[in-house]
Amino acid sequence: MKALVVDDSKSMRNIVKAGLKQMNAFGEIKEAVNGVDALEKIKDEGPFDLVLLDWYMPEMEGYDCLVEIRKKPEWNDTKVMMVTTENQQENVIKAVMAGANEYLMKPFTPEMLEEKVKMVLGL
């Protein structure tokens, strides 16, 4: 399986990647620094089984990237999980309504990440 970790913070990308590597479920884990970068990677290097999106990033936020991913029928099978500090109920609902498969609040433990990823991917 392939995953794409999208966050403008290198340290947060490393934390998420480390958690995914612990699961031994992903043969390939790529990273992107914002939504624009993510869409280019999905187009050029996809499809991805799972995209983990931060909400607040420069150039294109995670929510806007999610909306763009869901516009493309060829990316319908891609699971998207928001991984963010954004905890306002209306934004959680907004993301789910836009097609997010799951929502993980920062800060999180590796166990929480693994539990959500397994749930999303049906592992």
**pLDDT, tens digit, for every residue of 86-108?**
778 888 899 999 999 999 999 99
The answer to whether the CB of 43 falls within 8 A of the CB of 68 is no
Mean pLDDT throughout 11-21? 96
29-62: pLDDT as tens digits: 999 999 999 999 999 998 999 999 999 999 999 9
Per-residue pLDDT at 88:
84
pLDDT value of position 46: 85
The CATH number of 2-117 is which of 3.40.50.2300, 3.60.15.10, 3.90.1570.10, 3.30.70.980?
A: 3.40.50.2300
Domain ranges of the chain: 2-117
Percent of the chain with pLDDT over 70: 100
Q: How far apart are CA 3 and CA 96, in angstroms?
A: 19
Q: What is the DSSP letter of 4?
A: E
- List Cα–Cα distances, 27 to 22, 23, 61, 114, in angstroms: 12, 11, 27, 16
**CA atoms lying within 13 Å on the CB side of residue 53:** 36
